[in-house]
Amino acid sequence: MLNILRSRWTLPVAGLVIGLAAVIILWDLVRPHTFAGTVMQSPQPAYSFTLTGPGNQPVSLEDLRGKVVLLFFGYTSCPDVCPTTLYEMRAMLDALGSRAAQAQVVFVSVDPEKDTPQRMQAYLANIDSEERFLGLTGDLDTLNEIAAQYGIFFQKRIISETGAYLIDHTATVLLVDGEGYLRVVYPYGTPGEAIAADVRYILKH
Amino acid sequence: MKSALYWKILVGVAAALVIGVLWFALARPVLVLPRIRLAPGYSLVDAAGQAVTSEDGRGKLTLYSFAYSRCTADCESIYQTLQSIDQSLAQQPQRVPEFRFVTITIDPAYDTPQQLAAFNLPFTPQVVDWRWLTGEEKILKNVSGGAFGVLYQPREDGSVFFAPRYVLVDGEGIVRAVYDGAQLDSQRFLEQLTLVYEEISQAQGAARLAYEAAHFFACYPH
C-alpha cells in the first residue's frame, strides 16, 4: 500500500482525477439545463387570479408564492387528456420525493356547470390518494378571463341530443415559479419525470 | 513537473470554457426573438361564420393586427403594412411556410361575420392566408384588450379610438414580438420572422442548446 502511495504515478494520477472532477463541476455550473418544455422570458409576473378552492374558500395565485406551481386547465368529466395529464403530475410529485412539498399542482376547471369544489376534490383524490392536487373553479366569465391570459382555449361541444357535452380545451401544463413568473410551458404528453427534473432545477437555482 | 502540466491543462480548459461563454454572450452568433408571454386562448368566428380557435394556430406563425370594417384613414396604414409584408414575402425565393395574418375586430357590435364578409380589403393577399375574426364583445375584450394589450375605446359616432399594434405569435402560442404603431417596416419584420422560423426549424439536438443559450444570454436583434 505504502509502495503504491509512494509510486511516481501517484501525483500525476491524483492531479488528473482532481482536474477531471474540477472540469465536471465547472461544466455542471455553466451548462444550460435542458428543459422539457418551452422556457419563457416573461418580464412580468404571471396573471394573478382568485378562484374557489376546497371548502369554497378563495385561493389566489399569490397564496402559492414560494412554491413551484404546475397549472393545468381541464374538467372532471374529461375522458382522456385530463386524467392522463394528472397521472403525469402525480408521477412528477412522486419523482420529486421530499421536495414534492415545494411544488403545487393546480387543476383549474373549465366546466363551472358541473365542477363544484366538492366534486373536484373527490375527483382529484381519486387520482392522487395523497390529495396533493389543488382543484379550483369559478364563474364562466372569470374562467374565460383567466384562460385567455394563460393561452388556454376552451369551448363546450354538445355531443348528443340529451345535452351531453365535452369541452375542447388546450392541454398545456404551465410552470409558474416561486416568485410568480411563468417559466415553462409543457405540451400535452410531457412525462412527469421530465417535469420533475425541471422543478428540481428551478428549486435549486 | 507532470502535475504542473495537468494543472496547466485544467486551467486552459476552464479558461477556454469561460472565453467561449463570454464570446457567445458578446459576439451573439445566434440571434433569437424573446418568448415574451403566452398569446391568448380564444374561440372566435371568421367572416364565413366558421369557428376559429387559438389552437388552429398551432405550428403556424401568425401576425395579429387589430382593426374594424368601418375604420377609414386610421386603418389604411395597417392594410398597407400587411400588403407590403405580403408583397415582400411573394418576392422571396424561400418563403416562410405556414405564416398567416389574423385581424381581430375591435368593433364586434357592428362587425358581424356578414359585415366582415361584405368588407373588401384594399388589397388581395398574394401568398399569405388572411382572416378577419369577430366574436362576443366580452370575449374580444379579454383577448384583444386583456391578453394582447390593445388599447381601444368605442366613440359615440361609431368609430373606435385605438392604438394600432401588431403581435407576432409562434406555433406554440407564444408572443415573440410586439410592434406598436400602424407603421411596421416590412423588411425589419421579415428579418425577425425569419429568425423565429429558423429557430423553430433548426432548434434540435446540439443546435437546441445553442438556441437556448441565445435565449439565456438575451441575444436579441437590435
pLDDT in tens, A80-110: 999 999 999 999 999 999 999 999 999 999 9
User: Is residue B98's pLDDT more than 60?
Assistant: yes
Q: What is the interface pTM, i.e. ipTM, of the complex?
A: 0.83
Share of chain A above pLDDT 70, in %: 94
pLDDT in tens, A59-76: 999 999 999 999 999 999
The mean pLDDT of B26-30, rounded to a whole number, is: 78
Q: How far apart are CA A10 and CA A4, in angstroms?
A: 7
List the grid coordinates of A202: 428551478
Nearest of B133, B142, B148, B129 to residue B60 by alpha carbon: B129
Q: What is the pTM of this model?
A: 0.85
Of A19, A148, A170, the CB nearest to B143: A148
Q: Do B142 and A144 touch (CB under 8 A)?
A: yes
| Sign of the CA dihedral with B73 first, then B74, B78, and B84 last | positive
Confidence of residue B33 (pLDDT cuts 50, 70, 90): very high
What's the pLDDT score for residue B207? 87
pLDDT at A28: 67
Chain B residues with CB-CB distance to A41 below 8 A: 34-36, 215, 218
Chain A residue with Cα closest to B149:
A149
The residue with greater pLDDT, A194 or B217, is A194
End-to-end Cα spacing for chain B: 50
| Cα(A93)–Cα(A72) distance, integer angstroms | 15
B21 touches chain A (CB under 8 A): yes
Does position B72 have pLDDT exceeding 60, yes or no?
yes
Please determine, for residue B52, whether its predicted confidence score (pLDDT) is greater than 90.
Answer: yes
Please say whether the dihedral angle defined by the alpha carbons of residues B173, B174, B180 and B184, taken in this order, is positive or negative: negative
B contact test, residue of A9, A108, A149 with most B CBs within 10 A: A149
Long-range contacts, B156-161 (Cβ 8 Å, 24+): B158/B70, B158/B110, B159/B70, B159/B71, B159/B74, B160/B68, B160/B71, B160/B106, B160/B107
Q: Which residues contact A2 (CB under 8 A, 6 or more apart)?
A: none
Angle between helix A117-127 and A81-96 (nearest 10): 60
Chain A contact present for B200, CB below 8 A: no
Contact A148, B4 (CB under 8 A): no
What's the pLDDT at A183?
96
Q: What percent of chain B has pLDDT over 70?
A: 99
User: Any CB–CB contact under 8 A between B155 and chain A?
Assistant: no
Pairwise CB contact (< 8 Å): B41 & A19? no
Q: CA of A130 to nearest chain B CA: how many angstroms apart?
A: 32
Q: Assess whether pLDDT exceeds 80 at residue A121.
A: yes
Nearest-angstrom CA–CA distance, B67 and B65: 7
